[in-house]
Structure 1
Amino acid sequence: MTNSLLTNTSAMVALQNLRSVNKGLNMVQEQISTGKKVSTAKDNAAIFAISTVMQSDVKGFEAINQSLNLGSASVGVARGAAEKVSELLVEMKGLIVAAQEDNVDRTKIQTDIGQLRDQIDGIVEAAQFNGLNFLKGADSTDFLASLDRDASGNVTASTISVDAYSLETTAGVAVVGLDTTGTTGVNAAGDSAAALIADTNDFEIHVDTGATFTEGDVWELRIDGRKINYTVAAGADHDDVAAGIESAIDAAGITGISVALAGGGAADAEVIITNGTGGAVGFEVTVTDGAGGGLANLNGLDVSTAAGAAAALVSIEGLIQESVDASAEFGSAQKRIEIQNEFVSELTDSLKTGIGALTDADLEAASARLQSLQVQQQLGIQALSIANAAPNSILGLFR
């Protein structure tokens, strides 16, 4: 059968081809209008799922950039203030050195020292960014640094922790409950002690069983120059304090230094620190009241007498070192934050590039395909028109 009025096979083939061309044409036009080859899940479900997850990570890293910018600014303010405090303490040292001479007016020098101390107070009070002041108190602040996704899709947040470093001149009350004993002959009771521990010797911290501990009291230990802090928690007793100190030393992971607990309960709690380094190790422990500042000893500087001037010269060195340590720690923290911020920015750009490679349309190829499909559409319409006209030839048989 050449032709049929009921079944026009040629027309059906031409129509199927035209529908296919129109479908391709619609797809290319959508790619050109959206700029994406995968804009919905129906385009490519797997790629859409991957790109959506990556887009969410990009949004997260953009928020992390803001957190790191805030952290850098906050720590930068603290670093600048600590450096200025160091400058003022060095200037104060010059005055104290001048006071060592007998033929000077020590009263006027003392007045100048008092003015510098007040200026330090003003700097410390003003060294805040959005209410966060790293020069007051002993708390640490965590800044969001990264979002880490494992192979199973689990996401965890990592942070950069910045410790506060008190440079306040507020004096704290006397702290009780400390008795330190070193086998090198140091045996001191009070709120501070230091020793040089020879190889295989121990240094013991005795925490008094009858002492009352105040929340916020800070135990600062230096072992071979390594600073370790423990802050007393609310409701802590002598066993809790000893355990906290032991845990802080152990967590520091100082090579050759081991620590153990003894006593406790009804007896004094003992923190026994053993030196196994093979050489002498400096050890120092001080305890300050939670209300006291790191530069509290500034209030005790009095150069109005020869004896006071001599004592002030000894004290100022430690105070300068305190502010220098703060500047160095803030500087290191700020540098780390800025490095992480730069990395996160580069990582975000890389993620965006990857998402684009998966989902963005090749507009050059799409333009060429569009023109090809438009020509195919015109030819398809012509072919369908010819196929639809074929049944007209049947009329010739009835003439």
Structure 2
Amino acid sequence: MTYSVHSMASVNSALQHMDMLQRDSVKVHTRIATGLKIGSASDGGAIWALAQGMRASNGARGEALTSMDLATGVVETALAAAEGISDLMVEMQGKLVAATDTSLDERGWRTLMNDFVALGNQAQHLVANAAFNDINLLEAGAADISVLVSENPNAQMAIAAEDLSDGGGIFDSTLPASLPQTDASGLATRPDATMVADFEASMNAVNAAISRLGVSLKTLEIQRTLLVKQIDVTDAGIGNLVDADLGRESAKLKALMVREDLGLQALAIANEAPRTILRFFQ
């Protein structure tokens, strides 16, 4: 066996082993502290890049989710107002039909038609107040809206506006002038069966518009559910790629602590070897 105070190969070997153990210990401590086994590109470039791409996709999905939530508010508000208009039209029809009764004098049928106008004015107030986030699908000149439904900007859902202003093509009071009005003084003659039939056609058109809004709302709900599921699945996939298994890391840490203790003992033994040289000179 060769003894030297210059090379001390066994000591250097023990020191290198201890240095390796300390580096491994730092990595394990970092994983435990952060909860990530791939916290940066240096931990695994390919996996880190893949996870970043998945995070970007989920970020875009989050923006789409915001777009859908806003659109849902717009459609829900429009739908609630449109249903209220339909309910008022049911009452309006009753007044209109009653006013065609030829046994009523002019004062009687005009009183009924004044009620008809008052109900129609309420319907038009609902149209005016059906805005959410400054978007009103029921007002005159309302524009269709497009909604993001995924991370792909080209995948958008169109929701059509439903103009329920009087004379807008769906709601029609069948009066000589558009609502709102003060009273029914604009009517020159008693309402007749033709006016009733026209109003019923308008009611059917309003109900069809309500049905379209309901379908749009249901579609938004389905698309939102799918989008949330995609976000959750992607988050889980990212976790599988980069999250640390804390149980395993804890076991590794304990094993490293034991190995460090053994390494310290090995280093102490290696340091004792050169001391034997002094015995040669005693």
Instruction: Find out whether 1:143 has 2:117 as its counterpart.
Output: no
What is residue 180 of structure 2 aligned with on the other side? none
CA-to-aligned-CA distance 1:24-46 (integer Å, 9 cap, x gap): 11110010111100001100001
After TM superposition, give the deviation of residue 381 of structure 1 in Å: 1.4
After TM superposition, give the deviation of residue 296 of structure 1 in Å: 4.3
- Please identify which structure carries the higher helix content: 2
Is residue 65–residue 344 contact of structure 1 (8 Å, CA) maintained in 2? yes
Query: 1:132-281 residue pairs with structure 2 within 5 A?
Result: 132-136=135-139, 137-148=141-152, 156-169=153-166, 171=167
CA-to-aligned-CA distance 1:98-157 (integer Å, 9 cap, x gap): 123211221111111111111111110001101100002252101111114xxxxxxx44
Is residue 120–residue 173 contact of structure 2 (8 Å, CA) maintained in 1? no
What is residue 87 of structure 1 aligned with on the other side? 87
Instruction: Find out whether 1:300 has 2:183 as its counterpart.
Output: no
Is residue 82–residue 327 contact of structure 1 (8 Å, CA) maintained in 2? yes
CA-to-aligned-CA distance 1:320-348 (integer Å, 9 cap, x gap): 01210110010000010111111111111
Identity of aligned residues (%): 32
Paired letter, 1:321: N
Match of 2:253 among 357, 370, 392: 370
Match of 1:123 among 108, 121, 126: 126
User: Aligned partners of 2:85 and 2:100: how far apart in 1?
Assistant: 23
Paired letter, 1:147: E
Instruction: Find out whether 1:388 has 2:271 as its counterpart.
Output: yes
What is residue 20 of structure 1 aligned with on the other side? 20
Paired letter, 1:168: S
Is residue 77–residue 127 contact of structure 1 (8 Å, CA) maintained in 2? yes
User: Aligned partners of 2:210 and 2:246: how far apart in 1?
Assistant: 54
CA-to-aligned-CA distance 1:56-105 (integer Å, 9 cap, x gap): 22222222222111111110111111111111112111112212321122
Stretches (4+) displaced over 6 A: 301-304
- Please identify which structure carries the higher strand content: 1
What is residue 333 of structure 1 aligned with on the other side? 216
User: Aligned partners of 1:338 and 1:99: how far apart in 2?
Assistant: 43
Match of 1:312 among 185, 191, 195: 195
What is residue 102 of structure 2 aligned with on the other side? 102
Task: Provide the alpha-carbon RMSD of the alignment.
Answer: 1.7
The unaligned stretches of length 5 or more in structure 2 are 178-183
SS of the residue corresponding to residue 142 of structure 1 reads strand
User: Aligned partners of 2:146 and 2:61: how far apart in 1?
Assistant: 16
Paired letter, 1:144: L
SS of the residue corresponding to residue 398 of structure 1 reads coil
What is residue 5 of structure 1 aligned with on the other side? 5
Is residue 99–residue 110 contact of structure 2 (8 Å, CA) maintained in 1? no
CA-to-aligned-CA distance 1:335-381 (integer Å, 9 cap, x gap): 10111111111111111111111101110111111011011111111
The unaligned stretches of length 5 or more in structure 1 are 149-155, 172-291
User: Aligned partners of 2:154 and 2:236: how far apart in 1?
Assistant: 23
User: Aligned partners of 1:89 and 1:359: how far apart in 2?
Assistant: 59
